[in-house]
Amino acid sequence: MRSFRRTLSFLAPYRGRVIASVILTLLVTLLQIVPPRLFQVAIDGGIKPTLSAREHVRVVRSQATGTNLGSEKLAVATAEAEAQTKLYHAESVVLWCAIALFSVILLRNIFSFLNSYTLTWIGHRFVFDLRFATWKHLQRLSLAYHNQTQTGKIMARVTGDIEVIQGLIQGQLVTFISDVVTLVAVIGMLFFLEWRIAIAIVALIPFYVVSYLSFLKHIREVSQEQRRLWDEMLGKLAEKISGIGVVKAFVREDYETQNFMGSVRSKFAVDMRQVHLNRRLGLVSGVISAVGTGVVYAYGGSLVQQGQMTTGVLVALTFYIAYVFNPAVRVVDFNNSLQWALAAMDRVFQTLDTRPEIEDRPNALPLPADIRGEVEFDHVTFQYVDGKNAVEDVALRVAPGEIVALVGHSGAGKSTLMNLLMRFYDPTHGAIRIDGMDLRDIRLESLRRNIAMVAQENVLFSVSILENVKYGNPQASDDQAVAACKVADLHEFITELPDGYETMIGENGIKLSGGQKQRLALARALLTDPAILILDDVTSALDGETEARVQDALSRVMKGRTTFIVAHRLSSVVDADRIYVIEGGQIVDVGSHADLVSRPGVYQDIYREQFKSALEIIG
């Protein structure tokens, strides 16, 4: 229940509306139990006396027929006047009961409307706050968390789980409170009207409690299993949709269909277990409700026949029985919604309780405005998993404005070093410094605003080209964005589009080629005016002509910036000031392109592999 208490804490800022909603709920509930009492008064004090009075008037008038004596006529007239008075009084009782009933129903509907609006506002505001807090926290979580957690599961936390909690706060919980108040008020009314029947009804309530407790454990276990399978199904769905190209390329559609259907079948089986438990619980509750109704009709009817209870009271008791057993059934059923919502709360707060592995230190400082861009890796070692070094004892120093390249086979540790420089992870041993400041002593925001990364696969958002270019620096002017696109050799292409810089990209817009995406990413990086630029294999997936245009744009972008080039293609690093050869997470060689090609080693091997045909022609 700790998660439930934490969930309620999100309602604390709106306690005024919550209190108003509770008051309105109580008013609506109490007004709901007034009509049966009015029915009783109308029957016993109005309808039955009206029928009796009219019969009395008819008898008196029949007796008056043929009577000539003055004294008898006077007696008959007096009796008729009394009967008419009773009739008028009885009809007045019925009329006032009708007016009271109309007023109660009117007030109840007004309060119900106000309560519904207030609850809806609270529910939607609660979702807004909790979803915003979850999303904000997800942005703070380290890259490791997002790499280790399926996208579908993260989406389930932000959407489905929070909507389940909203349903509890806005609907089932309020109904539960209303039902509890109804039970207390109605049971009190039952004792007031006929204590013997009330005792019989109250004696049945423990059976509801017993049935509830007997199903509680099983229902919660099934609820948790339902949510786990739901997350798993969403995770598979998101994963396979994002990788649909690979699925089709390897003709795995049938396999993936069967695999997904396995998850659907598992979810269906658990759902049916939940339905089975719910229906068994409902069956027990329905039987108890039927027994209670039978008690009222059998015992109450006999009391009416014996003259120990009026017809109006029996009618009122019949209505109140529905107010006892139906809310009692809902109180029992509330556990189903509660268990489902508690499981959702546990998952949401599990996400909120996940601490970022990378955080600012309390005394962290921003980088100075005049950052030079000197970078030092001081004997850096890093492990993704304990016992296995991804990077081992890397030591290098890059001067401001220098262009260095990291070359090596796939999995050598090149991108890992750049992730460490971006401080997506912290070194296991050693330190990384910029202008002599340890990255762990620099505010993350300041660090990443001074470093721009352009990757092989760049994410572009489904907004305009201009918004994509300005994504890293929204405060930049349109002229600055255009200037960045000119440097990245993209301006001419954009101006030829019908909507120019306002052209939409993505599902509802145009599709860009690989080279266009890379140049747009370069423009986006350039607009942030970074002191340090990371180019992570930006040309490996491009054809020769496109690579030449991107390389030309790169040469302009890199001017005056400390630049790291991570590359598989050696054609993109030949002009680097210095090249580090990485193998097995270690620096195994360093030098210029000419130096490394001239001596045996990993670099020379890679060079010969990539330029084998050209070397054979020259040879």
pLDDT digits (tens, 9 = 90+) for 512-560: 877 788 888 888 888 888 889 888 877 665 666 666 776 777 777 788 8
Domain 2-353 has CATH 1.20.1560.10: yes
Q: Taking the complete model, does pTM exceed 0.85, yes or no?
A: no
Closest CA relative to residue 356, chosen from 437, 444, 232: 444
- pLDDT tens across 388-399, in order? 899 999 999 999
Main-chain dihedrals φ then ψ at residue 584, nearest 5 degrees? 60, 30
If residue 483 lies in a helix (H) or strand (E), which one and from where to where?
helix 478-487
Q: Which residues pair with 389 in a beta bridge?
A: 383
Closest CA relative to residue 597, chosen from 606, 584, 588: 606
% of the chain beyond a pLDDT of 90: 14
Residue 585 and residue 577 in contact, taking contact as beta carbons nearer than 8 Å? no
- pLDDT tens across 146-166, in order? 777 777 777 777 877 888 888
% of the chain beyond a pLDDT of 70: 88
Extents of the domains making up the chain: 2-353, 375-618
Average pLDDT over residues 454-464: 79
Look at the block and give the residue holding tokens 């101006």: 495
- What pLDDT, on a 0 to 100 scale, did the predictor assign at position 202? 81
Kindly report which listed range (102-106, 269-273, 349-353, 398-402) carries the lowest average pLDDT score: 349-353
SS3 state at 453: strand
Average pLDDT over residues 342-367: 84
- What pLDDT, on a 0 to 100 scale, did the predictor assign at position 509? 56
Q: Is the pLDDT of residue 313 over 60?
A: yes
Average pLDDT over residues 596-608: 87
- Which among 244-253, 298-307, 384-393, 543-552 has the top mean pLDDT? 384-393
Architecture of domain 375-618: 3-Layer(aba) Sandwich (3.40)
- Whole-number CA gyration radius for the chain: 40
Q: Is the pLDDT of residue 429 over 80?
A: yes
Kindly report which listed range (69-83, 133-147, 433-447, 490-504) carries the lowest average pLDDT score: 69-83
| Higher-confidence position of 461 and 550 | 461
CA 178 to chain centre: 27
| Higher-confidence position of 106 and 194 | 106
Residue 551 and residue 539 in contact, taking contact as beta carbons nearer than 8 Å? yes
Main-chain dihedrals φ then ψ at residue 185, nearest 5 degrees? -65, -40
**If 0-12 CB within 10 Å is exposed, 13-18 middle and 19+ buried, where does residue 28 land?**
buried
What's the mean per-residue pLDDT of the chain? 82
Round to whole Å and give the CA distance between 578 and 592. 5
Average pLDDT over residues 243-272: 82
Round to whole Å and give the CA distance between 537 and 452. 14
Q: Is the pLDDT of residue 274 over 80?
A: yes
Q: Is the pLDDT of residue 406 over 90?
A: yes
Q: Which two tokens stand for residue 387?
A: 């016992």
Q: Is the pLDDT of residue 434 over 70?
A: yes
**Residue 180 one-letter amino acid:** V
Round to whole Å and give the CA distance between 203 and 208. 10
Average pLDDT over residues 568-573: 80
Q: Is the pLDDT of residue 51 over 80?
A: no
